[in-house]
Amino acid sequence: MIPTDMAVLLSVVLFVLGTLGVLLKRNAILVFMSVELMLNATNLALVAFAQQWGQETGHLFVFFIITVAAAEVAVGLALIVAIFRTKKSINIDDLHQLEG
Amino acid sequence: MTELFLVVGVLAVISAVFMLLSDNAVHSALFLVITMVGIAFMFLLLNAPFLAMIQITVYAGAIMVLFLFVIMLLGAERADVSSLIGSDNRKFRWYIPVVAVAIGSIFFIFALSILNSGVATRQIPADPPQARFLHAAADVGAVEVYAGETLLAADVTFGTATDFVALPEGATSVRIVADAAEYVVDVNLEADTSSTLIAYGAGTPQVSVIPTDRSTVTDQRSGRYVVFNGYADLEAVRVIDIGTEFDENDNNTLVESLPFGEYSAPLLVEEETANWTIVDANEPDDLVTRLEAFELERDTASLIAVVPLPVADGTVRPGTVVVKVEAAPDFGGPRAIGYKLFTTFLLPFQLLALLLLAAMVGAIVLTHRETSKARERAGGRRRVSRPLAQVIAAQVGQDITPDAPQLPGGEGSRAAGD
C-alpha cells in the first residue's frame, strides 16, 4: 500500500509543473495541456485520500473531473481552432484584444 | 510496492518536465501521454482499478488524440517560438524568474505541510455496529422490535428480516414485543461489525446473536453462507451438498455437526443451483429438511436458519428460513462506483450528461461557421456558370436553352435554369 503522503506529494509536484506550464508557456495548446496536467494531479490526490479513508466518494469526484475535462477539451480545442482561423496564430501573446 | 511507486512517480515527473521543456508541441503531447499512463498506474496501486482504465481510455486515448489531431491540423508544432528557458530571439521576459520563485516557494510550503500533517498515520473512524432482526419463531405472530426505547421495526412477520440499522456501541437491550408477550434480550455489539438477532424455537422464542459478515467476498463468483441450527428436537444437524439427485457419489458434507443454537463458520460456495439436505448428525439417514434447486448467488451474504415451520393444521415441521443480503462491493471496482453513481450521485451524473451534450453542441457550433461559408462559396461558383453557359451559347452561335426541354426527363432545363 502506497503511503498517502507520498502520493499527495507526487500530485503536488505534478500540479506545480502544470502551473509553471500555464504561466510560462506561450503556445495556447501547450497551456491547455498544462491545465490537463493540473487536473490529473488533483485526481491523483483525490484517489490517494479515497484510499486513505476507505471512501469511494473520492473516486466519484475523479470520475466527474475526468468527464468534465473531456467536455472542456472538446470545447477548448474548438475555440483554439476558431481563433487560429481568424488570427492565424495561437501564441497567447498575440491574443490580447481585451488588454487584461 | 513502494519501489514500483517511486519508479513510476519519477517517470511521470520526468516526462512532465520534458513536456514543458520540449520545443515541439507533438513531443510535448507524447510526453504528456507518458505522464497520464503513469498516473493511471498510480490509480492501480491506490486500489482504483476502474479509474485507472477510465484514465487510460479517456485521457491517454481520447483527449490526447484530440490534442495531437489539433496540433497537426493547425501545423502548430513550432508555434511556441519561445521555450520555457527563454532562449529565443525575443526580448527577455522579466516575469519568468519571478514566477519560478513564487511557484517554487508555494511548492515547498505544500510539501512541508503534507509531510508534517501525518495524514498517512490517521485512522479511519469506526462505523457503529449494524444489526437486523430475523423473525424465525413459528409460534409468535408479527412483532415490534425496540432497541432501548427506539423502534427498529414494526410488524415483522415470520420468515422476514428487517434491514440493517445502526445501533449504539456496547450493551443494548433489545425488546421484542408480540401481541401479548414481551421478550427482552441484552446484546453486546462491537463497532465495525454486523449482526443478525434471530428469534427462533417453538413456544417461547429464544434469541441468539449471529455475526453477519457483509464485507466483500474475495473469492471469484462466490457467496457466503452461514447455517444456523434453531431446531430443538435434534442434538445436532449435518448439512450435505448432494449435488445432482442421480449421482450418489458426489455427496459433499458442508457442515459436519451443528448443535442446537449454534451457527456454522461461513461457507464460501460458488454460484450454482444446488441441492442441499439437512440431516440428523447422529443418524445421517434421518432427513430433517431439504433445500431443493437452491440458488447460490455470488457476492451475497446469506443466513440459512433451520427452524420449526408452522404447518396448516397447527403443528410444526422442520424447515429453513433463508435471508440474503448483498455483500459490500469491491473497493474501487466498477460495481462499487456504479452503485454510488446511481444512488448518491444520480443528480450530478445527470447534470454531467447534460454538460457533455452542451459541450458537443458547443464544439459543433464553434466549427460550423466555416462550413456554411464554404457552402456559400460553392453556391456562388455555381451561379457564375450560368453566364458561362450563355457565353458558350454565343460562341456556338445559337441559343442552347430552348433545346433543353427536349432532353429526356427534363434534366437539361433544370440545369440550364439553375
Is residue B375 predicted with pLDDT exceeding 70? no
User: What count of CB pairs under 8 Å joins A to B?
Assistant: 230
Question: Judged by CB atoms within 8 Å, which residues 253-292 of B form the interface with A?
Answer: none
Note the pTM of the prediction, 2 decimals.
Answer: 0.74
3-class secondary structure, B257: strand
List, for residues B153-186, the tens digit of each pLDDT value: 888 888 888 888 888 888 888 888 887 778 888 8
* pLDDT value, residue B329: 82
Of B31-35, B191-195, B294-298, B414-418, which gets the smallest average pLDDT?
Answer: B414-418
CA pair distance B404, B394, nearest whole angstrom: 16
What distances in angstroms separate CA A4 from CA A14, B22, B45, B119, one per listed residue?
A: 16, 31, 11, 7
CB B279 within 8 A of CB B288: yes
CA pair distance B257, B266, nearest whole angstrom: 14
CA pair distance B333, B44, nearest whole angstrom: 11
Rounded to the nearest angstrom, the minimum Cα separation between B327 and chain A is 16
Is residue B371 predicted with pLDDT exceeding 60? no
Which is more confidently placed, B15 or B278?
B15
Q: What angle do CA B328, B330, B336 make, to 5 degrees?
A: 80
ipTM for the predicted complex comes to 0.94
Rounded to the nearest angstrom, the minimum Cα separation between A97 and chain B is 19
Is residue B148 predicted with pLDDT exceeding 70? yes
> If 0-12 CB within 10 Å is exposed, 13-18 middle and 19+ buried, where does residue B18 land?
middle
CA pair distance B412, B298, nearest whole angstrom: 73
Q: Does B34 touch chain A (CB under 8 A)?
A: no
Is residue B55 predicted with pLDDT exceeding 90? yes
The length of chain B is 418
> Which amino acid is located at B261 in the chain?
G
List chain A residues with CB under 8 Å of B104: 16
Of B134-143, B318-327, B387-396, which gets the smallest average pLDDT?
Answer: B387-396
Pure H helices in chain A: 4-24, 28-53, 57-87
Q: Does B96 touch chain A (CB under 8 A)?
A: yes
pLDDT band (50, 70, 90) for residue B412: very low
CA pair distance B50, B338, nearest whole angstrom: 10
Q: What is the percent of chain B where pLDDT is above 70?
A: 84
Rounded to the nearest angstrom, the minimum Cα separation between B339 and chain A is 10
- Phi, then psi, of B91 in degrees rounded to 5: -70, 150
- Phi, then psi, of A26 in degrees rounded to 5: -110, -10
Interval B357-362 mean pLDDT = 93
Q: Which one of A79-93, B83-97, B310-324, B333-347 scores highest in mean pLDDT?
A: B333-347
- Phi, then psi, of B324 in degrees rounded to 5: -125, 145
* pLDDT value, residue B369: 67
CB-closest option in B2, B99, B114 to A24:
B99
Q: What angle do CA A94, B97, B113 make, to 5 degrees?
A: 115
Q: Does B51 touch chain A (CB under 8 A)?
A: yes
Is residue B408 predicted with pLDDT exceeding 60? no
Q: Does the distance separating the beta carbons of A30 and B337 come in below 8 Å?
A: no
Is residue B103 predicted with pLDDT exceeding 50? yes
Neighbouring residues of B70: CB distance < 8 A, sequence distance ≥ 6: A29, A77, A80, A81, B76
Q: Does the distance separating the beta carbons of A26 and B82 come in below 8 Å?
A: yes
CB-closest option in B43, B114, B341 to A47:
B43
- DSSP line for B264-322: PPPEEEESEEEEEEEEESSSTTSEEEEEEEEEE-TTEEEEEEEEEEE-TTS-EEEEEEE
Is residue B113 predicted with pLDDT exceeding 50? yes
Closest Cα in chain A to B109: A12
Q: What is the percent of chain B where pLDDT is above 90?
A: 19
* Nearest residue to B67 via CA among A91, A65, A69: A69
Q: Does B359 touch chain A (CB under 8 A)?
A: yes
Residue B29: its H or E element: helix B25-45
Rounded to the nearest angstrom, the minimum Cα separation between B8 and chain A is 10
* Nearest residue to A90 via CA among A33, A29, A36, A34: A29
* CA A68 to chain centroid: 11
Q: What is the percent of chain A where pLDDT is above 90?
A: 57
* Nearest residue to B63 via CA among A18, A69, A63, A65: A69
Closest Cα in chain B to A79: B366
Mutate which: B84, B85, B114, B355, vs A, most A CBs within 10 A: B114
* pLDDT value, residue B84: 45
β-pairing verdict for B287-296 and B272-280: antiparallel
Q: Does the distance separating the beta carbons of B36 and A20 come in below 8 Å?
A: no
Q: What is the percent of chain A where pLDDT is above 70?
A: 96
**Residue with grid cell 440545369, as numbered in its chain:** B415
> If 0-12 CB within 10 Å is exposed, 13-18 middle and 19+ buried, where does residue B262 land?
middle
In chain B the first and final C-alpha atoms are separated, in Å, by 74
Rounded to the nearest angstrom, the minimum Cα separation between A94 and chain B is 12
Q: Does B120 touch chain A (CB under 8 A)?
A: yes
Question: Judged by CB atoms within 8 Å, which residues 329-348 of B form the interface with A?
Answer: 331-332, 336-337, 340-341, 344-345, 348
Q: Does the distance separating the beta carbons of B51 and A59 come in below 8 Å?
A: yes
* pLDDT value, residue B172: 83
Is residue B247 predicted with pLDDT exceeding 70? no
pLDDT band (50, 70, 90) for residue B288: confident
List chain B residues with CB under 8 Å of A52: 119-120, 122, 124
Closest Cα in chain A to B341: A60
List chain A residues with CB under 8 Å of B62: 70
Q: Does the distance separating the beta carbons of B74 and A90 come in below 8 Å?
A: yes
Is residue B333 predicted with pLDDT exceeding 50? yes
What distances in angstroms separate CA B101 from CA A42, B15, B94, B110, B151, one per listed residue?
A: 22, 22, 12, 14, 63
Q: Does the distance separating the beta carbons of B66 and A74 come in below 8 Å?
A: yes
Average pLDDT value over all residues in chain A: 88
* pLDDT value, residue B359: 94
List, for residues A5-39, the tens digit of each pLDDT value: 889 999 999 999 999 999 888 888 999 999 999 99
Mutate which: A4, A9, A15, A24, vs B, most B CBs within 10 A: A24
Pure H helices in B75-224: 95-117
